[in-house]
Amino acid sequence: MNTTQNLAHSETYFHEGRDFWYNTDFLELMAKRWNLSQYQSMLDIGCGLCHWSKLLLPYLQPNAQVTAVDNDEAWSEGNESIEAYFESFGSQIEFQSADAHRLPFENNSFDVVTCQTVLIHLRNPEKALAEMRRVVKPNGIVICAEPNNLVQAVLKDSANRKEPIETATKRFESTLSFENLKRMDGKGHNSFGDLMAGTMNKLGFQEIQSYLNDKLTPIYAPYEKPEQQAAISFYLDNVENEADELARNQIQSGTYFNGGGTMMYLVSGKK
């Protein structure tokens, strides 16, 4: 998924919950808005396990050609399962190692250039977007799905709903400090989704469209839905603070609940 982070990050965030990030009817609507059915070739940047390109593939022209790149060798080599998925649609996928800041392709090479939760991890997301614009064909489309991760620090759940203002403020300040330190260290901007449309405009993209993903996964007992179980599994494996520990205890007792809120931007632009 991410072209600058190491394998540990990828292993942590390639959880089953990714399979439930989007509603099918929402993807169908976005495919119409992006006119994906007119496109034949696609470049998936920071492909990881191809969660994103696998979702977009059915909306492209039949027998679409897909190139998937990542600078993590664990993902840039691909695997038989992913290749079989693309072959089931009559499509070929080619894997390659690449840095999103310096894509090894000629100008005007692809109909669609896309990424999901990649720009937030890059040293220079603006440069990566400029590269995406360079390699997309005239009248082709660049599509980026990136979040605002800071919003998670202010969402309420059953574990923090009664916390004092001071505690909530400290939690937000801690999250914001981590985000700022990561950005200053050249390791990415966790809320770059907020900045994508403006950055695309600065780089000369045309027909910029910006949307928010409409999928929520509210968590409540008895946690029977597959998407709830995937989210619960992730929560249990990633306890970082006192609020997380309380949430884990409530999950184990069957009393935890939240609204499933996220903030994922889907921004597109043409050349």
Tens of pLDDT along 204-223?
999 999 999 999 999 999 99
Report the C-alpha gap between 25 and 21 in whole angstroms: 12
Could you read off the pLDDT of 29-88 as tens digits, one per residue?
Answer: 999 999 999 999 999 999 999 999 999 999 999 999 999 999 998 899 999 999 999 999
For residue 182, is pLDDT > 60? yes
Strand 136-147 versus strand 206-212 pairing type: unpaired
In order of their start, the domains of the chain are 7-270 (3.40.50.150)
Least Cα distance to 238 among 12, 1, 4 occurs for 12
250, 256 in Cβ contact below 8 A?
yes
What sign has the CA pseudo-torsion 168, 169, 175, 178? negative
Range of weakest confidence among 112-126, 226-240, 255-269: 226-240
E strands, 54-199, are 65-70, 92-97, 110-116, 136-147
